[in-house]
């Protein structure tokens, strides 16, 4: 059929509407679309029939097990996840800002230090950092991370987050037009004063949308606190879910914890894209 | 000594960007109260000269002396010296994250350490002067180019400068907005402000400037009273430039 169409095409004078013989591109597209819908529907029906819903529901959505998770799910696990993530985010932002400024400094050793830090900690798996922190007291006898378990978790997230934040903030600082610094200097401000009053506030506004995404990434990375061997009142969502799942030999807690993460991350994602759009308008 | 101190004195100023020598030995001075316009083809070094006056560009060699203080002295307090020089940029460079009033107040507060009430009063006075008092709470993005440039002038004036530098202040404006900015500048000139203006507005240079300096290829080609340099230029290069600028449709190709 296609052969026939192809053969017929060139002989037809340009501009003449095609006859009834061949299918128009629009019709072909419609048929192809219909075939795809049919295949998709068949797949869904097939899966629905194949899956044994009873055992699946028993394992992933068991009401009693889910009930056991409250209220600790929110009052302990989610609360701790937020403490780790917000704490890590705040320190990562501050440390990232320091590295971003060092990276742009005219003092060469500052640039070296900043580049080394960024390259190292951006290139290492976050899990590895957490394992290192776990061994820190062995390496430095007598040393203890301030803040105990919270401190360790926040430190891990800070170390990882700062490397990414430094790069984001550097991009933001460089996106502020050069004229802003010149105008500030021409008004008699020192370089430092101009940075603090004029350049950094604008850079922070520029990086709000990517930073929101970074917070989401950090929130997910807070699950790695699991590997610090936390327990009791310090557990965060993933650890909490994992423990409950072991206790009841049932996967329901994992599903519930997953939904809890989404309750936070999806609204944050929307917030990020809204901020981004607002900023695009403001320019 | 010569008695009266120059507002600005520039001696044998050179500036190179890498291999490219943009200023090839500039000597000139501006007296207090004088309005000097710098004209010339693009790439002639006018803007670089202006930016060297408040050391936004570091001169390669030569001296810049502002009210008796040598800015090119490596040990000078540059920030302190810059407070005496206001600068208005082609691209306005208002601070977009602050309102008009905050734009005019920030340097007063942070640099001159004026109190809030005083900074507010001075800001409003200067905004009044440039005719935008009613836009105090607007953000720069909400203003037209002409209004933004007038805010930029008010921002510089609020620091009580002894000298105002204008770097092609009307080049980024729509033609119908140029007049408002030039009117403010004319008013400033009439009030006795010392001004150094890089401009393509020949009418402004002719009517307002005491002196016009014509630059080409990194040197001053002609320097004299406005009427003479624009009305009766002596140098061939000045004549050719003015012919092209004043009568662009009859330029020989």
**CA distances for A63 relative to A75, A237, B54, angstroms:** 20, 19, 74
| B79/A177 CB distance under 8 A | no
Of the candidates B183, B201, B219, which is a domain's last residue?
Answer: B201
Handedness of CA B149, B152, B157, B162 (dihedral sign): negative
Q: Are residues B89 and B175 in the same domain?
A: yes
Token pair recorded at residue B62: 């030569």
What ranges do the domains of chain A cover?
67-275
Closest to A171 in 3D by CA, of A143, A207, A201:
A207
State the total domains in chain B: 2
Specify whether the CB–CB gap between B236 and B220 falls below 8 A.
no
Give dist(CA A57, CA A110) in Å, integer: 57
DSSP-derived letter for residue A149 is H
- The answer to the question of residue B31 being in a domain is no
Q: Are residues B67 and B117 in the same domain?
A: yes
CATH code where residue B164 lies: 3.40.50.300
Q: What is the pLDDT of residue B126?
A: 96
- The answer to the question of residue B12 being in a domain is no
Q: Are residues B119 and B158 in the same domain?
A: yes
**Residue stretches of chain B with pLDDT short of 70:** 1-4, 251-253
Give dist(CA A107, CA A110) in Å, integer: 6
Nearest CA-CA distance, residue B186 and chain A, Å: 22
Q: Are residues B73 and B98 in the same domain?
A: yes
Nearest CA-CA distance, residue A8 and chain B, Å: 58
What are the helix and strand counts (H, E) for chain A? 14, 0
Q: Are residues B139 and B65 in the same domain?
A: yes
Give dist(CA A70, CA A122) in Å, integer: 37
Q: What is the pLDDT of residue A2?
A: 45
Nearest CA-CA distance, residue A215 and chain B, Å: 24
Indicate the residue of B85, B93, B107 with minimum beta-carbon distance to A179: B93
| B82/A186 CB distance under 8 A | yes
Per this entry, what is the length of chain B? 253
Q: Are residues B129 and B82 in the same domain?
A: yes
Q: Are residues B57 and B178 in the same domain?
A: yes
Beta carbons within 8 Å of B151's beta carbon, 6+ residues apart: B92, B94, B100, B103, B104, B127, B130, B132, B135, B140, B143
Specify whether the CB–CB gap between B214 and B240 falls below 8 A.
no
- The answer to the question of residue B28 being in a domain is no
Q: Are residues B60 and B174 in the same domain?
A: yes
Beta carbons within 8 Å of B248's beta carbon, 6+ residues apart: none
Specify whether the CB–CB gap between A105 and A166 falls below 8 A.
no
Nearest CA-CA distance, residue B110 and chain A, Å: 8
- The answer to the question of residue B239 being in a domain is yes
Q: Are residues B246 and B162 in the same domain?
A: no
Q: What is the pLDDT of residue A281?
A: 59
How many interchain CB pairs under 8 A, A with B? 62
Handedness of CA B87, B88, B91, B95 (dihedral sign): positive
- The residues on B that touch A, with CB distances below 8 Å, are 54, 56, 79-80, 82-83, 85-87, 89, 91, 93-97, 106-107, 110-112, 141, 152, 155-156, 159
Indicate the residue of B54, B97, B111 with minimum beta-carbon distance to A205: B97
Q: What is the pLDDT of residue A1?
A: 43
| Residue A189 sits at the chain B interface (C-beta within 8 Å) | yes
Kind and range of the H or E run holding A124: none
Q: Are residues B56 and B92 in the same domain?
A: yes
- The answer to the question of residue B102 being in a domain is yes
Q: Cα(first)–Cα(last) distance of chain B, in Å?
A: 51
pTM metric for this prediction: 0.81
Give dist(CA B201, CA B168) in Å, integer: 9
**Chosen CATH of A67-275 out of 3.30.70.270, 2.102.10.10, 3.40.640.10, 1.10.3720.10:** 1.10.3720.10
pLDDT (tens, 9 = 90+) of chain A, 283 residues, equals 444 544 444 555 555 555 566 889 999 999 999 999 999 999 999 999 888 888 888 878 888 878 888 888 888 889 999 999 999 999 999 999 999 999 999 999 999 999 999 999 999 999 999 988 888 878 787 777 787 888 889 999 999 999 999 999 999 999 999 999 999 999 999 999 999 999 999 998 889 888 988 999 999 999 988 888 777 788 888 989 888 888 888 888 899 999 999 999 999 888 888 887 877 655 4
Indicate the residue of B96, B110, B152 with minimum beta-carbon distance to A197: B110
Q: What percent of chain B has pLDDT over 90?
A: 81
Q: What is the pLDDT of residue A21?
A: 67
Q: Give residue B245's domain range.
A: 210-252
Give dist(CA A99, CA A105) in Å, integer: 10
| Residue A204 sits at the chain B interface (C-beta within 8 Å) | no
- The answer to the question of residue B150 being in a domain is yes
Q: Are residues B73 and B153 in the same domain?
A: yes
| Chain A residue with minimum CA distance to B158 | A187
Q: What is the pLDDT of residue A93?
A: 95
Count the alpha carbons within 13 Å of B97 in the hemisphere toward its beta carbon: 16
| Residue A19 sits at the chain B interface (C-beta within 8 Å) | no
| B107/A184 CB distance under 8 A | yes
Q: Are residues B154 and B241 in the same domain?
A: no
Q: Is B245 exposed, middle or buried (0-12, 13-18, 19+ CB in 10 A)?
A: middle
């Amino acid at each position: 059929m296609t052969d026939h169409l192809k053969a017929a095409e060139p002989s037809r004078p340009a501009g003449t509407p095609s006859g009834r013989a061949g299918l128009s591109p629009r019709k072909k597209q419609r048929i192809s679309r219909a075939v795809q819908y049919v295949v998709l529907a068949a797949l869904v029906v097939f899966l629905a029939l194949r899956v044994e819903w009873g055992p699946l529901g028993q394992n992933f959505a068991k009401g009693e097990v889910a009930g056991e998770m409250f209220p600790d799910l929110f009052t302990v696990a989610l609360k701790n996840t937020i403490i780790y993530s917000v704490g890590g985010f705040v320190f990562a932002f501050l440390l990232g800002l320091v590295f971003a400024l060092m990276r742009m400094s005219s003092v060469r050793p500052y640039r070296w230090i900043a580049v080394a830090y960024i390259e190292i900690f951006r290139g290492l798996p976050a899990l590895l950092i957490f394992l290192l922190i776990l061994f820190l007291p062995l390496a430095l006898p007598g040393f203890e991370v301030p803040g105990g378990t919270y401190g360790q978790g926040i430190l891990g997230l800070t170390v990882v987050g700062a490397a990414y934040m430094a790069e984001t903030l550097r991009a933001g600082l460089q996106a502020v037009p050069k004229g802003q610094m010149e105008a500030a200097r021409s008004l008699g401000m020192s370089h430092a004063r101009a940075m603090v009053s004029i350049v950094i506030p604008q850079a922070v506004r520029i990086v709000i949308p990517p930073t929101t995404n970074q917070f989401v990434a950090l929130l997910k990375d807070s699950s790695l606190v699991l590997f610090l061997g936390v327990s009791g009142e310090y557990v965060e969502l993933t650890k909490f879910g994992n423990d409950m799942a072991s206790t009841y030999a049932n996967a329901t807690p994992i599903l519930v914890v997953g939904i809890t993460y989404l309750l936070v991350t999806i609204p944050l994602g929307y917030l990020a894209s809204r901020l981004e759009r607002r900023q695009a308008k403001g320019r | 000594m010569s008695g009266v101190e120059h507002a600005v004195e520039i001696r044998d100023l050179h500036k190179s960007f890498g291999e490219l020598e943009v200023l090839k030995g500039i000597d000139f001075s501006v007296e207090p109260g004088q309005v000097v316009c710098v004209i010339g083809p693009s790439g002639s070094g006018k803007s670089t000269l202006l930016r060297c006056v408040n050391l936004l560009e570091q001169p390669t060699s030569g001296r810049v002396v502002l009210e008796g203080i040598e800015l090119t002295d490596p040990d000078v307090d540059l920030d302190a010296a810059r407070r005496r020089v206001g600068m208005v940029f082609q691209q306005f460079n208002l601070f977009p994250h602050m309102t008009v009033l905050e734009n005019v107040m920030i340097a007063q507060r942070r640099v001159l350490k004026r109190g809030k009430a005083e900074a507010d009063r001075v800001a409003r006075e200067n905004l009044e002067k440039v005719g935008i008092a009613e836009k105090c709470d607007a953000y720069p993005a909400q203003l037209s180019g002409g209004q933004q440039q007038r805010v930029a002038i008010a921002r510089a004036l609020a620091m009580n400068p002894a000298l105002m530098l204008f770097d092609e202040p009307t080049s980024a404006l729509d033609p119908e907005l140029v007049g408002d900015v030039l009117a403010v500048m004319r008013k400033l000139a009439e009030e006795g402000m010392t001004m150094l203006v890089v401009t393509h507005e020949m009418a402004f240079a002719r009517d307002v400037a005491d002196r016009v300096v014509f630059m080409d290829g990194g040197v001053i080609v002609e320097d004299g009273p406005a009427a003479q340099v624009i009305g009766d230029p002596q140098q061939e290069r000045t004549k050719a430039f003015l012919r092209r600028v004043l009568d662009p449709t009859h330029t020989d190709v």
